[in-house]
Structure 1
Amino acid sequence: MMAGLSVPMLSTATPSATGKDTFTPIRFGIISDLHQDFAFDAARRLEAFIGDMQQLKPDMIIQLGDFCQPKQENNIIMDIWNRFKGPAYHVVGNHETDGGFTPADAARYWKIPHTYYSFDLKGYHFVVLDGNDVNPDHKPRWKYERFIGEEQLQWLAKDLDNTQLPVIVFCHQGFDNDNAVENAAQVRLLFEHANKKAGFRKVQLAFSGHFHQDYYNRINDVHHVQINSATYFWRGTRYVDEPFDAAIHQQYPLMKYMSFYRDPLWALVEIHADGTTKITGRTSSFVGKTPTALGMPENAWTYPAVPHISNRTLKLSKRLA
């Protein structure tokens, strides 16, 4: 357990009728990789998201990490976030640990029960995982670890066992990409074991961020959705462009390696009673030269760099294949 944080409470949900392939309607807003500490206009982007959510009034909102470092200077971001009057949840990303901070520091700053935790809302069990555990095989440890440790895996297995509700998982680093959570296959196998033990498809969806890309994978009937960054695509240090004022680039020196989206990106997720799930994303354009115009191969980061979050329609089902 991380010092200063209580153990996340396990669900005490009442078992539901799992034989019925129906779902409770729910809507939630989701945003990822705002990067307050790297972006000069993060506050404007978050204000746009919160303004939209205040009008749409979803059942909850969640951010998928790389939101802001847990320090007083970022209280302006938290003040904007807290304008939303409904339930609002946080996922810890790797860049929350910049500046010497820890995932536990971020959890305390955001006032969440732990770096990983779960909650029930409107007939669903939501699981928030922390992909920043230390892999004991790394000696010396990596700057940004991407691992689900044994203690968290044991907690997850018990948490899934204690609910009969359909489960939606959030983690900054995903489970469908070899460069994300290192032991992703182990986590996916845990999902599959939970489903078989329950006798129905319990784990339905897994949302992630981290890569600042837009893609979707379906693995053993679990839907894995990558939510693009609200702010930019990271090109890397080989491809340089400085489309903003010189003063901005001087204050934020890493921005010359980023392809900024002109408008902020986020998505609204709607699950209907028959399991039809609609993800409505936003579309923008790149500021300055596109990554390909700068010579970056389209598959340099596996998936192409795009300034949008795709609209998707998925179909959830509780029936095992």
Structure 2
Amino acid sequence: MQKRRQFMKNLGVTTAGVLAARNIFAIPKNPQAKKRLKIGVISDLHHMQFGQDEVARLRGFMDEVIKAEPDFIIQCGDFCRPQKSDGIMAEWNRFKGLKYHVLGNHDMDVCSKETIMKFWDMPERYYSFDLEGYHFVVMDRNFLKKDDGTIADYNNSNWGPLPSPKRSFIDQEQLDWLKSDLEAAKFPVIVFMHQPVFLSDYFDELGNADEILKIFDQANFAAKKQGKTSGVTAVFMGHDHDDRYGVRNGVHYFIVNSATYVYSDKAHFYTDPLFAFITLDPSGKLVMEGRSTTYRPEVPEMIQSRFPSRITDRKLDL
């Protein structure tokens, strides 16, 4: 933990230079979007991972979703296990609109990808779709790198015993698909994934993030050269249980804090759920409306002050 925190302290020295590049590929005015598009997002619910029944926590999010009537909702991974999760899915399915899933590492703690995908009614492990003048991409970062250099799916916690540099990879099939998908995109691109490719203090658990970032950069360079508005504009990630925002080569990156807890020496739980609503405006604005909460009374003050229990509101006039 100390090594990771020291890395973030060092990272702070260089981040300013990265943030200064924010206008290179910023979300442009989008004449193809006819209306504001609203998205409800929640990440890292971790139902039953520590024996905690998180149905009530998800209900807090879903109650707000029903009121807000977003265009779609998405969970960014580490949602639930198939066992004892019928209540979670019943809550999730209260919203009758569009719903999307992202695979997280802990979703395969006790099962295969195929099992949890079937439980969620998730047709593909990675995919994309167009909606209201935007192109959305969902990625699967849940592969481990074996000693012989080949990669394999996360399956029944097979990733857990491995050293961090062998985690959070994606397969060549998906890399090839991502490149082709971005080349064919006709609208500004918004990406969702679980493990971060940028901003993370899990600096030894990035897998082949450099290959993903290279594809983003190449797609954006080509789009800019051709005068198109179809470059990657924003990326939303989970996994780190933190609240962060930064810009790399003009792409806006967000780490969405856990709905449930922060992990330091152990899991420290929030009283109420954290989640956010994201609004994409045709004028080129992105608004993130986050939630704040408190910790349970037993959580030490040192943890509470060190790890703010919030997802920050952000209004980006791009």
Task: State the secondary structure of the residue aligned to 2:259.
Answer: coil
Q: CA deviation at 1:137?
A: 4.7
| Aligned-pair CA distance for 1:314 | 2.1
Distance in 1 between the 2:29 and 2:279 partners?
17
Deviation at 1:105, TM superposition (A): 2.0
Once the two structures are superposed, the pairs formed by residues 242-257 of structure 1 within 5 Å of their partners are 257=266
Instruction: Name the stretch that deviates more: 73-82 or 284-293.
Output: 284-293
Distance in 2 of aligned mates of 1:104 and 1:157: 24
> Could you give the per-residue CA deviations for residues 205-262 of structure 1, whole angstroms, max 9, x where no partner exists?
10011111111111001011011111100113xxxxxxxxxxxxxxxxxxxx211111
- Say yes or no: does 1:83 pair with 2:94: yes
* Partner Cα distance (2:204, 2:191) in 1: 19
Partner residue, 1:287: 296
| Distance change in 2, residues 1:148/1:288 (3 Å) | same
Task: Select which of 256, 262, 278 maps to 2:287.
Answer: 278
CA offset digits 1:99-147 (Å, max 9, x no partner): 2x12232222211221111111111111110110222457897427311
1:47 is paired with a residue whose SS is helix
Q: Which of these residues, 111, 120, 126, is aligned with residue 136 of structure 2?
A: 126
Correspondence for 2:173 = 151
Alignment-derived partner of residue 312 in structure 1: 314
* Cα pair 1:104 1:114 within 8 Å, conserved: no
Structural RMSD (CA): 2.3
CA contact (8 A) 2:30 2:133 kept: no
Letter in 2 for 1:313: K
| Cα shift readout 1:244-291 (whole Å, capped 9, x = no counterpart) | xxxxxxxxxxxxx21111111100001112111110101111113545
* 3-state SS, counterpart of residue 172 of structure 1: coil
CA distance in 1, matches of 2:76, 2:144: 19
Amino acid at match of 1:37: M
**More helix by proportion, 1 or 2?**
2
Q: Gapped runs of 5+ residues in structure 2? A: 1-27, 152-157
- State the distance in 1 between where 2:207 and 2:148 align: 11
Aligned-partner Cα distance in 2 for 1:292–1:124: 42
Question: When the two structures are superposed, what TM-score results if normalisation uses the length of structure 1?
Answer: 0.78
Aligned pairs (5 A) from 1:135-146: 135-137=145-147, 142-143=159-160, 145-146=167-168
Contact 2:77 2:105 in 1 (8 A): yes
- Where structure 1 has 5 or more consecutive residues not aligned to the other structure, the ranges are 1-19, 237-256, 299-303, 317-321
Correspondence for 1:96: 107
- Paired residues, what number? 269
| Residues 283-292 or 169-178, more deviating | 283-292
